[in-house]
Amino acid sequence: MSRLIVISNRVSAPRADSATGAQGGLAVALAAALRDHKGLWFGWSGEKTEEFTGDIAFHRHGGVTSATIDLEEQDVDEYYNGYANRTLWPLFHYRIDLAEYDRSFAGGYERVNERFADTVGPLIEPDDLVWVHDYHLIPLGQQLRQRGLRNRIGFFLHIPWPPARLMVSLPFHEGLVLSMLAYDVIGFQTEEWLESFRHYVERELGGHCDPDGTIHVGDRSVHAAAYPIGIDYREFETAVASPKARKAFERMRQSAAGRQTIIGVDRLDYSKGLEERFLGYRRFLEEHAECRLKLFLLQIAPPSRGEVDTYEVIRERLDELSGRINGEFAEVDWVPLRYVNQGYGRADLAGFYRAAEIALITPLRDGMNLVAKEYVAAQDPKDPGVLILSRFAGAALQLKDAILVNPYSKEEISDAILQALNMPKAERVRRWRALNENVRREDVVAWRKAFVGALEGAESRSGG
């Protein structure tokens, strides 16, 4: 079996007992994929140095070998906080109003991708499969090819691909997309993002797409397909059954004192629709005064990307809005909204999910959304909770038995909460079974096998 070299912006092999829980879905998914493939995970350590040295630190933990480099302060500002999180993240989540275009960001992005190629290149052996992840490293494949690498190289995008009409607002967008033709396989979370990509290629690059997924531009061909990411179902099942999860479950149930819990768990990010969610919940409290004391919303949202101003703004807005909702509706023995700004370990989260009768997961746009899948996996099969999910999350294309809502509509959110509260047990069980079947079958192992299988099947440039 070929070795697998995974390259992503950050490297952090998660542990089931991790107390921070601050890692995103990418980290959780990749550790599972690497554990049984002998390989290497390469990326930025998260550390800043005065000058870039290119020194590589090797570690081994949880069955995964990782190799990391430090970056310069200027790299982090321009590449990570700049081009990745101020330009590409908002644009790819359809928020061109928030996207910032700055020449220094683009320069830093290019420079860091070159630095990645220079440092990881020598670690790659001729038979290795190389798998590059996410929007931070779009041009890395091309950089590696320019250094003579002939291995099979795949790229997976964890976030949405924007419609062509938005994509063209990015200066030098053609160059970025053309660099992707250096890959052998390009993976998207859903058919919807794949369709947008194909449309862009046809419209802006004059390429054409075969029905089998091959994209041709000039003399280059790339295989592009949808590979929906899943959760590590088995690991999550174990986490739910752990004593820690049971303790967390008891803690929640006790503090709920017979009231129904609606749970939301998200990184604090404008793409997650937290403000709209709070407003939808507020609408519910207004419209259904008779239900008020019977439930509460527990929103867990640890801050992320604190160095980017937009995140400070959304944080302040949420602080204000949550305070306003509690001020308006709370009674001496009841608070409608518990807004918690910290992360939790996986076992704790599993217990919280299981204790919640309803999950309210309403991103405005999300590549996939693993929280929705974790909630499903954590339920008691005999008495499962109800999932309310945004129709704009990639996961909605698979989790069709959730109550699907438009996250921008307060009315739809309010109606969905009422529907979930009143849902008969037989219907809850029926819907949950269908959801769980999907989450269990299309797990992270199936995702990895599908992607790596496609990469193995791609024609090698070394002629093998």
Give catalytic residue positions.
Answer: 158, 366
Residue 347's DSSP bridge partners are none
Nearer to ligand ADQ, 18 or 143 (CB): 18
Q: Judged by CB under 6 A, which of 2, 25, 92, 178 binds ligand ADQ?
A: 25
**Residue 366 interacting with ligand ADQ (CB under 6 A):** yes
Place of tokens 């269990």: 440
Residues 145-164 that bind ligand ADQ (CB under 6 A): 158-159
Q: Judged by CB under 6 A, which of 13, 265, 285, 325 binds ligand ADQ?
A: 265
Q: Judged by CB under 6 A, which of 29, 140, 360, 413 binds ligand ADQ?
A: 29
Nearer to ligand ADQ, 80 or 329 (CB): 80
**Residue 388 interacting with ligand ADQ (CB under 6 A):** no
Structure tokens at 80: 């990570």
Distance in Å, CB of 157 to ligand ADQ, minimum? 9
**Residue 407 interacting with ligand ADQ (CB under 6 A):** no
Nearer to ligand ADQ, 369 or 379 (CB): 369
Q: Judged by CB under 6 A, which of 4, 13, 28, 314 binds ligand ADQ?
A: 28
**Residue 367 interacting with ligand ADQ (CB under 6 A):** yes
Give the contact letters, 328-347, x = binds to ligand ADQ (CB under 6 A), - = no: ---------------xx---
Nearer to ligand ADQ, 31 or 117 (CB): 31
Query: With contact defined as beta carbons under 8 Å apart, do 436 and 401 qualify?
Result: no
Distance in Å, CB of 188 to ligand ADQ, minimum? 11
Q: Please state, in angstroms and as integers, the Cα–Cα distance from residue 229 to each residue in 7, 37, 187, 388, 443, following that order.
A: 17, 17, 10, 20, 7
Place of tokens 């519910």: 284
| Interacting residues toward ligand ADQ by CB under 6 A | 21, 24-26, 28-29, 158-159, 229, 265-267, 300, 302, 343-344, 349, 366-371, 374
